[in-house]
Amino acid sequence: MPLLVWGSVALDSVETPTAKRDNVLGGSAIFFSYAASYFTAVKLVADVGDDWPGEHTDLLEARNIDTRGLNVLAGEKTFRWRGKYMPNMNDRETLEVHLNVLGKYAPVIPDEYRRSRFVFLGNGAPATQRKVLEQVPDAELVVADTMDLWIKNERDELGELFRRIDGLVLNDAEARLLTGDENLVRAGHAVREMGPKFVVIKKGEHGAMFFSADETYVMPAYPTPDVVDPTGAGDSFAGGMMGYLAEQLSFGPRTLKTALAYGTLVASFTVEDFSLDRMKQIERPDVERRMEQYRRMLSF
Amino acid sequence: MPLLVWGSVALDSVETPTAKRDNVLGGSAIFFSYAASYFTAVKLVADVGDDWPGEHTDLLEARNIDTRGLNVLAGEKTFRWRGKYMPNMNDRETLEVHLNVLGKYAPVIPDEYRRSRFVFLGNGAPATQRKVLEQVPDAELVVADTMDLWIKNERDELGELFRRIDGLVLNDAEARLLTGDENLVRAGHAVREMGPKFVVIKKGEHGAMFFSADETYVMPAYPTPDVVDPTGAGDSFAGGMMGYLAEQLSFGPRTLKTALAYGTLVASFTVEDFSLDRMKQIERPDVERRMEQYRRMLSF
């Protein structure tokens, strides 16, 4: 089952304590799409400018990512982000942001995408996320991401969105900000009570937590010694998770838990190099091998 | 199989964002002993002063904790610690420390304890930990704890100790300090290469990581919404872990992993109230019920 994703596409410049890269492929929709593509066909919707390198489109198309919804807008520039990671590889500082085309135009879902049943709303203004939603009337599973900016400034719109989605993915700091509760177990359930049927709190190197009316659980991150660049880990996590759900055509409790594990593992590959570089080297069997190790790790 | 523990006994004063307690029972050897007592008989070695309330001894004895090694020293005062937790319940500030009897006398292991085969060296000067070790010639499994003070000031002594122990338990900040590596997976293995056959890194609310020559794994913390006071969580973890190993009379890889899980669960009870208050309310079946939930949580 194809999976629709709307979100950002970026050209990132990233500095870590040991290396740096300029103008590499990034953005939530890119990491998400590539991560999901191990499991299912993906339909991508995003805006870029005419500075967009055409080879990036080829790279995506080669992985069964439909780019008819990737709008290359003449006279516009692609969203750019420059950031620097601290020695702990967790905290980061944003050095430059050029929004450019990002958030400038209302999202238009191509006709060929409108029957999509699995939908991911990448981080964006909640009102804009809702505009995507209105164009996919057959959606059966809608999962959204958000960020501190909207939690601080668009609380009402966010509440509106929460009542229309099935799942919400956010990080630990965002969950604390949204609820004012430092305890993530309580915070997770408090977010769930705002509307989403399930909530996933991403904790970076510490894994992810899941909350539904019936379940609370934690999945540790896969312990990789090779953390080169954490950019896109959270989006890859969401992509792996949603990709697996779309492949399984299901989102029952057991499938969801397995999906979180797949998200965890794809993200563990993403951080092992800059941009999509590590993901480009792997195929589904590599993910499955790591899954076997992960299952062994968690069984006793 | 009885389990020998040497470590500190304290009277703690603890302040959290919502409550406080003065002069409650604490110290690494106390949390360790009580946590281990769900699984096995414990032999406690520690020094206290003549301000030691006798009812604390009764409480320990009632749980099959042998206190013949608890030296009540006339003219001395018990170690006291006063601390305050930040709203995140993870960071804490030490407001007052009165070492008093702590670290003042060389440890003496009672004759009745010297045949012990399972030994835990609570946090203390590494040279002192070695003096304990020299008095238990039959020890088959020796696990030690340490802290930043010894890592900074007693590096050589610590290296000596590491070559004589089977396992080391330390927290994430200590592992980073000891190795200079921010990545905990690499740090864990680097510590192991200093001598211990296995290393456990405690990550508080984020669980624990295990490292041996053959294995690397992570166990998430049990997600409790009721974190009242985290004091003693790490010592309870070690106590639950070692208690289970002593009960099983084994420390093979599979038993070790299950032991880490038991440590995780006993610690999750400890944090649900001040001092030993939550642990006092539970019995082994309560631990087993939580273990069933934990196993379910980790299976998919």
* Predicted confidence band of residue B103 (pLDDT cuts 50, 70, 90): very high
CA–CA min distance A116, chain B (Å): 27
Beta carbons of B187 and B216 less than 8 angstroms apart: no
The reported pLDDT for the residue numbered B57 is 98
Which of A206, A216, A300 is opposite residue B254, by nearest beta carbon? A300
The reported pLDDT for the residue numbered B298 is 96
* pLDDT tens digits, B29-62: 999 999 999 999 999 999 999 999 999 999 999 9
* Predicted confidence band of residue A123 (pLDDT cuts 50, 70, 90): very high
Section B167-190 average pLDDT: 97
Section A73-80 average pLDDT: 98
- Given a cut of 90, whether residue B238 has pLDDT beyond it is yes
Q: Residue B215: closest CA among chain A residues belongs to which residue? A: A297
Percentage of residues of chain A with pLDDT beyond 70: 100
Beta carbons of B128 and B162 less than 8 angstroms apart: no
Query: Measured between alpha carbons, how far is B211 from B175 in angstroms, rounded to an integer?
Result: 12
Section B166-184 average pLDDT: 97
- Given a cut of 90, whether residue A90 has pLDDT beyond it is no
Which of A87, A206, A257 is opposite residue B182, by nearest beta carbon? A87
* pLDDT tens digits, A5-37: 999 999 999 999 999 999 999 999 999 999 999
Closest CA to A240 of A219, A205, A266, A217: A266
The reported pLDDT for the residue numbered A1 is 87
| Site from A199, A206, A209, A226 to mutate, B interface, most B CB atoms within 10 angstroms | A206
Closest CA to A194 of A228, A226, A170: A170
CATH superfamily of the domain spanning B3-297: Ribokinase (3.40.1190.20)
- Given a cut of 90, whether residue B71 has pLDDT beyond it is yes
R_g of chain B, CA atoms, integer Å: 18
Beta carbons of B5 and B136 less than 8 angstroms apart: no
Query: Measured between alpha carbons, how far is B138 from A163 in angstroms, rounded to an integer?
Result: 64
Strand order in the sheet with A20-26: A20-26, A10-15, A79-85, A92-98
Kindly state the tokens that stand for A20. 């740096």
Task: State the helix-helix crossing angle for B155-162 and B126-133, rounded to 10 degrees.
Answer: 30
How far is Cα of residue B287 from the mean position of the Cα atoms in its chain?
A: 18
Query: Measured between alpha carbons, how far is B206 from B89 in angstroms, rounded to an integer?
Result: 13
The reported pLDDT for the residue numbered B273 is 98
Section A264-271 average pLDDT: 98
Query: Measured between alpha carbons, how far is A206 from B220 in angstroms, rounded to an integer?
Result: 8
* pLDDT tens digits, A241-266: 999 999 999 999 999 999 999 999 99
Section A98-111 average pLDDT: 96
Percentage of residues of chain A with pLDDT beyond 90: 99
Strands (E), B65-214: 65-73, 79-85, 92-98, 118-121, 141-145, 167-171, 198-202, 208-211
* pLDDT tens digits, A158-210: 999 999 999 999 999 999 999 999 999 999 999 999 999 999 999 999 999 99
In 3-state terms, what secondary structure has residue A122? coil
Sign of the four-CA dihedral A257, A261, A267, A271: positive
CA torsion angle for A259, A262, A268, A271 (degrees, to 10)? -70
Number of other residues whose CB lies within 10 A of the CB of residue B229: 27
Beta carbons of A79 and A101 less than 8 angstroms apart: yes
CA–CA min distance B226, chain A (Å): 8
The answer to whether the CB atoms of A209 and B223 lie below 8 A apart is yes
CA–CA min distance A57, chain B (Å): 34
Beta strands A118-121 and A3-6, pairing class: parallel
- Given a cut of 90, whether residue B90 has pLDDT beyond it is no
* DSSP label at residue B239: H
Kindly state the tokens that stand for A111. 């006709």
Section A266-288 average pLDDT: 98
The reported pLDDT for the residue numbered B63 is 96
pTM value is: 0.95
Query: Measured between alpha carbons, how far is A69 from A173 in angstroms, rounded to an integer?
Result: 32
Closest CA to B246 of B31, B32, B70: B32
Which chain A residues have a beta carbon less than 8 Å from that of B207?
A: 206, 218, 220
Closest CA to B71 of B93, B100, B96, B97: B100
Number of residues assigned to chain A: 300
Q: Residue A256: closest CA among chain B residues belongs to which residue? A: B300
